[in-house]
């Protein structure tokens, strides 16, 4: 597969869609007031035609939930990227110094998860190599393997040797591959394939959602984590100390966010909802602290399943997360 094959196939790539970006009408003299008025839609014909902007941020959808299906989860996350766009377009826009471009969706054809991951890797590598900040909208959390591979390849050109992954998640997602990769295996794949260049830290782990085998694997592979009951405001000084050490040890950071890490009171529309996750207030405090490090090069957001949303609650939360990431750049 090459870029031309990927971008010319209607079954593997869908360009950005204008009808997804709508919002409140405003008086022209007021200028840009909402995201939908500022977003730049891009239909890539060739990967070498990425526009050159200062502070360029790329949105790319990973419209794939094949990994969730393989992992016996409830499918529907393939519709997640467009659901996020619909809510993001309605948000007030306060990022006038930044350029945000929507590059459309990667599609999963014929249940070929690996093809979709490879396509994501290719596009991510090209974005980051051109100085573009990568934000991937999922889709299943198997997107993390493709996203990381692209980040790694891009940064290898700059001789960066240490990439820190911070994952907000109720699950480790480090299951060994038994027959096929799925949404529960991506970080095992990463730490196995790239053992010398990656550190992995998970916030929000729930014991009831992770069998003892995964805690054993985490120990063997030097994976750090915080249980969900320590992800509270009262513990922020302790968390800050751990984050400071992690940030110092790594040249760059990649943040991955599985919405099932949040309590289902805030994020009901996920593959594996739980009432015991962390709160948005806690999450945004930690996210803001990480963004201040200026080491974050990419962010992704996974597992939004619009089929189970209530009043678009989860999609709105996802949109607010993307808005906060852009604010922190």
Query: Taking residues 86-107, what's their average pLDDT?
Result: 96
Rounded Cα distance between 135 and 20, Å, is 17
pLDDT bin (cut points 50, 70, 90) of residue 7 is low
Report cis status (omega within 30 of 0) of the bond before 199: no
- Helix (H) / strand (E) element for 149: namely helix 143-156
Q: Name the CA radius of gyration of the chain, rounded.
A: 18
Query: Taking residues 260-273, what's their average pLDDT?
Result: 96
Residues contacting 244, CB < 8 A, separation 6+: none
pLDDT bin (cut points 50, 70, 90) of residue 160 is confident
pLDDT bin (cut points 50, 70, 90) of residue 277 is very high
Is pLDDT above 80 for 45?
A: no
Beta bridge partners of 102: 41, 59
pLDDT above 70 coverage of the chain, percent: 95
Query: Taking residues 41-59, what's their average pLDDT?
Result: 78
Q: Residue 120 has what pLDDT?
A: 96
Rounded Cα distance between 273 and 309, Å, is 11
Rounded Cα distance between 287 and 299, Å, is 11
Two structure tokens written together for 46 = 């060739």
pTM of the model: 0.96
Rounded Cα distance between 186 and 146, Å, is 9
Are 263 and 275 in contact by the 8 Å Cβ rule? The answer is yes
pLDDT above 90 coverage of the chain, percent: 89
Is pLDDT above 80 for 14?
A: yes
Q: Residue 288 has what pLDDT?
A: 98
Query: Taking residues 93-113, what's their average pLDDT?
Result: 95
CA distances from 219 to 82, 172, 224 (A): 37, 12, 8
The DSSP result for 72-116, as a single string, is T----GGGHHHHHHHHHTTSB---TT-EEEEEEEEE--TT-HHHH
Q: Give the lowest-confidence range in 52-56, 120-124, 275-279, 312-316.
A: 52-56
Residue 6 vs residue 240, higher pLDDT:
240
Residue 166 vs residue 51, higher pLDDT:
166
Q: Residue 159 has what pLDDT?
A: 80
Two structure tokens written together for 45 = 């014909």
Are 98 and 91 in contact by the 8 Å Cβ rule? The answer is no
Are 326 and 98 in contact by the 8 Å Cβ rule? The answer is yes
Query: Taking residues 111-140, what's their average pLDDT?
Result: 95
Residue 176 DSSP one-character state:
P
Residues contacting 237, CB < 8 A, separation 6+: none
Q: Residue 46 has what pLDDT?
A: 57
Residue 253 vs residue 5, higher pLDDT:
253
Q: Residue 84 has what pLDDT?
A: 98
Query: Taking residues 89-113, what's their average pLDDT?
Result: 95
Is pLDDT above 70 for 43?
A: yes
- Helix (H) / strand (E) element for 298: namely strand 296-302
- Under CATH, which number does the domain 3-328 receive? 3.40.800.10
Tens of pLDDT, residues 242-260: 999 999 999 999 999 999 9
Two structure tokens written together for 130 = 């051109």
Query: Taking residues 24-28, what's their average pLDDT?
Result: 96
How far the first Cα of the chain sits from its last, in Å, is 33
């Amino acid at each position: 597969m090459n870029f031309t094959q990927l971008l010319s196939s209607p079954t593997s790539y869908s360009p950005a869609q204008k009808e997804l970006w709508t919002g409140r009408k405003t008086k022209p003299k007021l200028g840009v007031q909402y995201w939908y008025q500022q977003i730049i839609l891009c239909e890539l014909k060739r990967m070498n035609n990425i526009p050159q902007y200062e502070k360029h941020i790329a949105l790319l959808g990973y419209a794939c939930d094949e990994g969730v299906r393989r992992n016996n989860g409830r499918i529907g996350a393939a519709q997640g990227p467009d659901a996020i766009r619909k809510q993001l377009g309605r948000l007030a826009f306060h990022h006038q110094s930044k350029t945000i471009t929507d590059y459309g969706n990667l599609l999963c054809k014929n249940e070929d998860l690996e093809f979709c991951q490879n396509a994501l890797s290719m596009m991510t590598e090209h974005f980051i190599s051109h100085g573009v900040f990568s934000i991937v909208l999922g889709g299943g959390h198997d997107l993390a393997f493709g996203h990381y591979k692209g980040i790694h390849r891009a940064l290898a050109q700059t001789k960066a040797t240490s990439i820190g992954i911070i994952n907000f998640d109720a699950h480790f997602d480090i299951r060994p591959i038994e027959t096929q990769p799925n949404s529960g295996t991506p970080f095992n794949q990463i730490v196995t394939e790239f053992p010398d260049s990656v550190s992995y830290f998970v916030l929000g782990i729930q014991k009831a959602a992770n069998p003892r085998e995964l805690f054993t694997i985490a120990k063997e592979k030097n994976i750090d984590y915080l249980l969900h009951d320590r992800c509270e405001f009262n513990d922020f000084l302790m968390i800050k100390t751990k984050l400071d050490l992690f940030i110092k040890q790594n040249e760059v950071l990649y943040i991955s966010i599985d919405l099932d890490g949040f309590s289902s009171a805030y994020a009901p529309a996920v593959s594996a909802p739980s009432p015991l996750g962390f709160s948005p207030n806690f999450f945004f405090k930690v996210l803001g602290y990480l963004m201040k490090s200026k080491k974050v090069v990419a962010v992704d957001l996974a597992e939004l399943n619009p089929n189970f949303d209530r009043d678009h609650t989860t999609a709105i939360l996802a949109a607010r997360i993307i808005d906060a990431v852009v604010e922190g750049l």
